[in-house]
């Protein structure tokens, strides 16, 4: 038995078997919140169950909704008994903090040094108590009561303006005071000492994940909660206007609709999009915003040059209610500096067409982990990446990396400020890209029963391209083709005539929801494999809809829809 002193991110006590992994895990799309089973087919813990184990992982990655999944696991009594982390982690830790603050549910969360984290991998059992960790090779350890944590003196550890102190003391109502308390605990995870005003917010927590996703915002609403800054809403779990014809279960539709309306009642806009940067008046360079939704955060920081951290779900709600965010991470100049340089060899660019950028984002995200990279090698590439290319890149990057942004030399607005000299240089070549393609292709035969497009939401630019590919053709009767987008883009695509062409091809266009929110109910039971041009969805789909995946270009997706197979010649 060995004893280790760690940093307690959330105080508590537990004992149990140790489940250890060296690969970060996204709780959203990675863990079944009703059972605790790991459903990420790409993760070494796939098929294992985290319930009642002490889960040791380097960090989380991927979706900001992991915080909600953590709360759902606590409510379902399927959560780990405790968490041990190797790195600074905010998404799932925030889920524990919110559950503790609002619902009185909690588990201990510790952070170890890299050396101690590697050391415990050789052990089978662990016991957590406060800041103390005991590990054993082969003998279960007794439960030890945790000493109560010291009370955090918020005024001592943070610089608060008079107006911020007033919010904390309840002058703006109980909801704002509780939101401020959670924000300060979250800021403490980052060693932040002050807050910064934001001009707008984007709430990712509006997806229905279960009782917790309604219980938390309803509590804030009942306490008089209202947004303090313009706030958009992420894609929700249903197409509000068409859920019946899509066969969505009435219970799910009712609860998802109720959740969306809670946020709208609090003053948020019914934008319902996972790509808020496609809406009118996107953020501008240097603008401080408070966005959740991983792909949107990376796009806002990297492509637009706005400033936001990758906020966990429900921190986004607290930011919208207070109009404030911790001054830390990508909200600061120092938090946007690249730490590594990825040198890209682009010989494969032409052959991969529009599949190149999502594969590149997926690959680089895996390479850099939580480090912000400076990507070189694309400066002279022609044609230049489009907004749709960068959207796909950012979504894929956010799937495999926990970093909030990526600088691309010659492409993104801040990249010219940084010199690769002195940075650790990592090559990224065609072999890496092909490896990502193989990893995302999980189908075991060449059949395609569903073509899924619009993750993140389809843009007007993509509708333009798709309409050209579909014009004069029709998909096979055996193939479903579904596109998700937001209401604003859908209206513009209707006016431009793109929708009529795409629907004549046989595609079905949904608004309000997105593929990461759509479950098996929307997929025909005869479908064995789907095809998509989204690396993000190719990663998550096997765990969400339990189908094999073919990944390819938009053109290849259209051809597969016509033929019902991949690798077939188009009838053009």
Residues with catalytic function:
63
Distance (Å, whole) CA 348 – CA 393: 16
Distance (Å, whole) CA 312 – CA 387: 25
Q: What are the E-state strand segments in 419-503?
A: 424-428, 450-453, 480-485
**Cβ contacts of 491 within 8 Å, gap of 6 or more:** none
CB 261: neighbour CB atoms within 10 A? Answer: 14
Residue 314 · residue 183 · CB < 8 Å: no
**Cβ contacts of 532 within 8 Å, gap of 6 or more:** 451, 452, 453, 455, 515, 538, 541, 549, 550, 551, 557
Tokens 């949904």 belong to residue: 510
Say which DSSP state 288 is in.
Answer: B
Question: For 142-270, where are the alpha helices, taking DSSP H only?
Answer: 154-157, 162-168, 174-189, 211-222, 250-265
3-state secondary structure of 231: strand
Distance (Å, whole) CA 94 – CA 85: 13
CB 33: neighbour CB atoms within 10 A? Answer: 23
Distance (Å, whole) CA 128 – CA 131: 8
Residue 449 · residue 524 · CB < 8 Å: yes
3-state secondary structure of 500: helix
Residue 40 · residue 16 · CB < 8 Å: no
User: Between vectors from CA 217 to CA 213 and to CA 218, what angle results, nearest 5°?
Assistant: 105
List Cβ<8 Å contacts ≥24 apart for 20-24: 20/56, 20/57, 20/120, 20/121, 21/45, 21/56, 21/57, 21/58, 22/58, 22/121, 23/57, 23/58, 24/57, 24/58, 24/59, 24/60, 24/61, 24/369, 24/370, 24/402
**Cβ contacts of 296 within 8 Å, gap of 6 or more:** 202, 234, 274, 275, 276, 277, 456
Question: For 496-553, where are the alpha helices, taking DSSP H only?
Answer: 498-505, 535-544
Residue 511 · residue 484 · CB < 8 Å: yes
Q: Are strands 407-408 and 13-20 parallel, antiparallel or unpaired?
A: unpaired
Say which DSSP state 379 is in.
Answer: T
| Cis preceding-peptide flag for 383 (omega within 30 of 0) | yes
């Amino acid at each position: 038995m060995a004893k280790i002193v760690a940093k307690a991110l959330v105080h508590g006590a537990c004992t149990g078997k140790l489940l250890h992994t060296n690969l970060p895990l996204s709780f959203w799309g990675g863990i079944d919140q009703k059972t605790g089973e790991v459903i990420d087919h790409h993760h070494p813990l796939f098929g294992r169950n985290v319930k009642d184990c002490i889960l040791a992982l380097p960090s989380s990655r991927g979706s900001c909704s992991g915080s909600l999944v953590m709360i759902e696991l606590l409510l379902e009594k399927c959560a780990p008994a405790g968490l041990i982390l190797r790195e600074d982690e905010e998404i799932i830790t925030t889920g524990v903090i919110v559950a503790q603050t609002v619902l009185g549910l909690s588990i201990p969360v510790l952070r170890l040094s890299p050396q101690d984290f590697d050391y415990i991998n050789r052990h089978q059992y662990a016991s957590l108590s406060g800041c103390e960790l005991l590990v054993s090779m082969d003998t279960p350890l007794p439960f030890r009561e945790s000493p109560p944590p010291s009370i955090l003196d918020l005024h001592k550890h943070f610089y608060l303006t008079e107006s911020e102190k007033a919010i904390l003391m309840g002058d703006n109502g109980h909801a704002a005071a509780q939101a401020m308390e959670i924000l300060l605990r979250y800021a403490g995870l980052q060693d932040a000492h002050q807050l910064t005003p934001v001009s707008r917010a984007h709430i990712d927590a509006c997806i229905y994940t279960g009782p917790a996703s309604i219980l938390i915002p309803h509590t804030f609403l009942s306490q008089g909660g209202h947004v303090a800054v313009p706030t958009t809403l992420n894609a929700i779990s249903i197409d509000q206007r068409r859920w019946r014809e899509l066969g969505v279960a009435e219970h799910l539709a009712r609860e998802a609709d109720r959740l969306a309306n809670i946020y709208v009642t609090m003053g948020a806009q019914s934008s319902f999009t996972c790509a808020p940067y496609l809406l009118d008046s996107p953020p501008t360079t240097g603008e401080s915003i408070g966005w959740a939704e991983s792909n949107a955060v990376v796009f806002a920081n990297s492509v637009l040059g706005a400033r936001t951290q990758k906020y966990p779900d429900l921190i986004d709600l607290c930011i919208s209610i207070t109009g404030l965010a911790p001054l830390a991470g990508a909200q600061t100049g120092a938090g946007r500096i690249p730490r590594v340089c990825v040198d890209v060899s682009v010989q494969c660019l032409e052959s991969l067409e529009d599949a190149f950028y999502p594969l590149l984002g997926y690959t680089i995200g895996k390479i850099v982990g939580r480090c912000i990279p400076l990507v070189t090698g694309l400066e002279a590439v022609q044609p230049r990446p489009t907004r749709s290319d960068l959207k796909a890149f950012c979504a894929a990057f956010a799937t495999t990396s926990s970093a909030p942004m990526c600088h691309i030399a010659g492409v993104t607005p801040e990249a010219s400020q940084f010199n690769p000299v002195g940075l650790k240089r990592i090559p990224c070549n065609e072999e890496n890209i092909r490896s990502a393609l193989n990893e995302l292709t999980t189908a075991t035969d060449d059949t395609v029963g569903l073509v899924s497009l619009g993750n993140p939401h389809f843009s007007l630019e993509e509708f333009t391209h798709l309409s050209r590919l579909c014009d004069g053709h029709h998909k096979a009767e055996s193939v479903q083709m579904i596109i998700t987008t937001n209401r604003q883009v859908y209206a513009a695509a209707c006016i431009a005539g793109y929708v009529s062409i795409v629907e004549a091809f046989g595609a079905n266009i949904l608004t309000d929801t997105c593929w990461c929110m759509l479950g098996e109910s929307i997929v025909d039971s005869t479908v064995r494999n789907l095809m998509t041009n989204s690396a993000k969805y190719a990663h998550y789909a096997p765990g969400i809809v339990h189908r094999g995946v073919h990944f390819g270009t938009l053109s290849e997706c259209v051809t597969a829809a016509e033929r019902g197979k991949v690798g077939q010649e188009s009838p053009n």
